[in-house]
Amino acid sequence: MKKLPLILIISITQFLFTTTFGQTKNLKLEISHLTGNFYVFTTYNFYKGNPTPANGMYLVTDSGVVLFDSPWDTTQFQPLLDSIKVKHSKAVVICIATHSHKDRTAGLEFFKEQGAKTFTTKQTDEISKIKGEKRSEFLMEKDTLFSVGQYKFQTYYAGPGHTADNIVIWFDKEKILYGGCLIKSVEATDLGNLEEANVKEWPTTIKNIQAKFKDPKFIIPGHQSWESNKSLDHTLELIKEYK
């Protein structure tokens, strides 16, 4: 086998670095209007060496902004706050993380320092404590109904799936299901990170959600697109294919 000239190796290396760095540099904070006072924000981080999007959501209320999960990219905590302040002239008053992974909990301490009340379930906090991840100030010991400004929403633990502690959030009036990483986008071709997953119980968990929350108009998965409301069914199909 012929060896590549050193200058060619250097050129290839520089090209790959420049391409990867350039792509990552441009993948910053994205904010998209969902409906009414609901917005989806997306940041990026690396998974298996590739820049991967992670979705969170925020709700603008008369009493301030409620954040559902934090940016995965830690450099985007302040830009998200700044964008919300400029766009809505309001501060973030609550941040709720839906499970213990960094793409959900990374900003808990930051947002607490900015004056927001931070929440996770007790189960999530126990896992975060063991793993040395960021932790919330307030704990939910059971499914909880929140009333913030003119909006009401509830947290729901349907069972294990992506992780042992994953919860979803339901807005009954608007028929919005915020699913986090428990629910896979219709773009997903596999179940993603299974390091802490319970694939055996995952189908039952999804079916529990389908039985409890009928006909959602919007379903927000933890990663990739949310344009389709078929992601619950797609998650079940992915689990079936995996098995």
Active site residue 101: yes
- State the pLDDT at residue 109: 97
| Domain 29-242, CATH homologous superfamily name and number | Ribonuclease Z/Hydroxyacylglutathione hydrolase-like (3.60.15.10)
Active site residue 223: no
Active site residue 37: no
Of the residues 69, 73, 103, 165, which is catalytic? 103
- State the pLDDT at residue 12: 37
Active site residue 99: yes
81-103 mean pLDDT:
97
Q: What is the chain's mean pLDDT, rounded?
A: 91
Q: What is the pTM of this model?
A: 0.88
For residue 243, what pLDDT band results from cuts at 50, 70 and 90? Answer: confident
For residue 74, what pLDDT band results from cuts at 50, 70 and 90? Answer: very high
- How many percent of the chain have pLDDT more than 90? 86
The 8 Å CB, 24+ separation contacts for 187-193 are 187/224, 187/225, 188/221, 188/223, 188/224, 188/234, 188/238, 189/238, 190/238, 190/242, 191/162, 191/238, 191/239, 191/242, 192/47, 192/162, 192/223, 193/47, 193/101, 193/162
- State the pLDDT at residue 11: 40
Residue 79's identity, in one-letter code, is: P
Of the residues 37, 45, 99, 165, which is catalytic? 99
Active site residue 26: no
Of the residues 162, 165, 223, 234, which is catalytic? 162
Q: Which of 204, 198, 206, 180 is nearest to 242 (CA)?
A: 198
- Count the Cβ atoms, other than its own, within 10 Å of residue 32: 12
Are the CB atoms for 87 and 60 separated by under 8 Å?
no
What token pair was written down for 25?
A: 């540099």
120-126 mean pLDDT:
98
Of the residues 101, 125, 165, 234, which is catalytic? 101
Least confident of 3-7, 176-180, 226-230: 3-7
